[in-house]
Amino acid sequence: MPAATSLLQQLVAEATEMVNPLLEPAEHRDGRVFMPGNKALLHLNLLRNRITEVGLESFLATVQYQAQFSKSKSAGKGPVGLLWLSLAKNCFSMQCPAYTTIQELLLPRDPTTKAKPREDEGTCA
């Protein structure tokens, strides 16, 4: 039983080390404030939210940052960010470069891709 107790203590210690995502430091660039993003959020469904290509650029920046962060040495422990992002039926084309780049970045991270194909994406009417 001591091994199980030790494992439990280790898991509790790791859980308590987690910092509130809203308390992460912000970056200031070109007179704008950038938050690194909530890396504890794993799945996000934004189906039918009327997101346009303009909004898509912000999601792309976030996914690029999180993909880079997860590859770095500093991401050894703790949350790594989005693994799955649903942007179906919004106001942009499936061929939009920002959308295709997001899909390419998330595909290797998505744990469900091996189990089933990606959802059909569409544009709003």
- The 10s digit of each residue's pLDDT in 6-40 is 666 665 555 555 666 667 777 788 887 777 667 77
The Cα–Cα gap between 16 and 94 comes to 41
Tens of pLDDT, residue by residue over 71-124, are 775 555 667 788 999 999 999 999 999 999 999 999 988 887 765 555 555 566
Mean pLDDT (the chain) is 79
51: containing domain: 24-125
Total tally of structural domains belonging to the chain: 1
Is 70 domain-assigned? yes
Tens of pLDDT, residue by residue over 49-75, are 999 999 999 999 989 988 887 777 555
Is 29 domain-assigned? yes
Is 3 domain-assigned? no
Is 9 domain-assigned? no
pLDDT of residue 81: 86
Is 46 domain-assigned? yes
Is 18 domain-assigned? no
Q: Which long-range contacts (CB under 8 A, 24 or more apart) does 92-99 make?
A: 92/51, 92/52, 92/53, 92/56, 92/123, 93/123, 94/121, 94/122, 94/123, 96/53, 96/56, 98/53, 98/56, 98/57, 98/59, 98/60, 99/56
Is 8 domain-assigned? no
Whole-structure pTM over 0.75, yes or no? no
Is 51 domain-assigned? yes
pLDDT of residue 8: 65
pLDDT of residue 7: 64
